[in-house]
Each structure stands twice: as structure tokens, then as C-alpha cells.
């Protein structure tokens, strides 16, 4: 774990082929969600490409800071990794719990609220990344 905190780009770059493989093996053609009266549908391939590019850019930022010999906060690295991958994992697990029966509407409604809440926390958790990069650029270079 300490290795991943010191080199967080590895977990982001390693996850790209896993995301692409998961996207290829999934049977869903699209991902749909609604917000109030609007129903958004995103093609799974587009979502895979978006996450792959995003994780590639995040990994590149972490790698650039390491090569520039800039010190990043280990605590912020850990928090960013946990919020990103933990949030995605929890959302995926919760999405598998949807019930098909119309009698379970309240359960699905509460589950949807939980998924949206976790997604919001995960998205706002991405603010940690630029804060960490900027603080690493502002700090003086470590000696040695």
C-alpha cells in the first residue's frame, strides 16, 4: 500500500486496461440515469473512453510530479485514491442490488439516492487532485 501512495500513477495507469477489458466484456450497450424529469443515456464505449482518458491524465500528472522531483502529500494521495476507486467500487456494487419487482420501488428509490450521493462524493473528491498538484508545485523542492 505504501508503494501505491508513493507512486499513485501506477494504480491509475494499471486500471486503464482493466476498465477497457471490463467494458469489452460487459453486455450493456448503454448506461442510463435520470435526474428529475430528464433521462440521460451514455454509450458504454463512450464512458470507457472517458474514464480511460481521465485516469491517463491523472496518472500523467502524478508521474510528472515525481519526475520533476516535487513532493506530494501522501495523505492527499491516499484520500484521492480511496475516494476515486472506493467510490467507483461501491457504486458498482450498489448498482447490482437493483430489484426488478415493482413492489420494491422504495428500495430502488433509496438505492438510487445512495448511488447518487456516493457519485457526488466521488466527483467532489477529484478536487483533491489539483489541490495536491498545486501544493506540490508551490512547495520547495526536497533537498538531495
- Span 132-139, average pLDDT: 90
DSSP lists the bridge partners of residue 39 as: 34
Which tens digit of pLDDT belongs to each residue from 18-61?
989 988 887 777 777 777 788 888 888 888 899 999 999 999 99
Q: Classify residue 144: in a domain, yes or no.
A: no
Q: Binning pLDDT at 50, 70 and 90, where does residue 103 land?
A: low
Q: Which three cell numbers stand for residue 50?
A: 472517458
- CA 86, CA 91: separation in Å to the nearest integer? 8
- CA 106, CA 128: separation in Å to the nearest integer? 34
pLDDT of 123 above 90: yes
The alpha carbon of 33 is separated from its chain's Cα centroid by a whole number of angstroms, namely 18
Domain residue limits at 83: 2-138
Sequence-separated (6 or more) residues with CB below 8 Å from residue 94: 111, 114, 115, 118
- Span 124-144, average pLDDT: 85
Q: Classify residue 41: in a domain, yes or no.
A: yes
- The closest of 23, 81, 83 to 52, measured between CA atoms, is 23
Q: Classify residue 16: in a domain, yes or no.
A: yes
pTM score above 0.85: no
pLDDT of 139 above 90: no
pLDDT of residue 99: 67
- CA 39, CA 24: separation in Å to the nearest integer? 24
pLDDT of residue 47: 85
pLDDT of 131 above 80: yes
**Total domains present in the chain:** 1
Q: Classify residue 97: in a domain, yes or no.
A: yes
Sequence-separated (6 or more) residues with CB below 8 Å from residue 93: none
Q: Classify residue 143: in a domain, yes or no.
A: no
Amino acid at each position: 500500500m505504501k508503494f501505491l501512495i508513493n507512486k499513485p500513477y501506477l494504480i491509475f495507469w494499471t486500471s486503464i486496461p482493466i476498465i477497457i477489458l471490463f467494458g469489452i466484456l460487459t453486455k450493456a450497450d448503454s448506461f442510463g440515469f435520470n435526474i428529475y424529469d430528464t433521462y440521460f443515456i451514455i454509450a458504454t464505449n463512450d464512458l470507457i473512453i472517458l474514464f480511460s482518458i481521465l485516469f491517463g491524465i491523472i496518472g500523467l500528472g502524478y508521474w510528472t510530479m515525481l519526475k520533476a522531483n516535487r513532493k506530494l502529500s501522501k495523505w492527499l494521495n491516499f484520500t484521492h485514491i480511496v475516494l476515486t476507486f472506493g467510490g467507483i467500487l461501491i457504486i458498482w456494487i450498489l448498482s447490482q442490488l437493483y430489484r426488478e419487482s415493482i413492489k420494491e420501488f422504495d428500495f430502488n428509490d433509496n438505492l438510487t439516492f445512495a448511488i447518487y450521493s456516493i457519485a457526488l462524493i466521488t466527483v467532489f473528491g477529484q478536487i483533491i487532485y489539483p489541490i495536491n498538484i498545486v501544493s506540490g508545485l508551490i512547495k520547495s523542492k526536497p533537498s538531495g
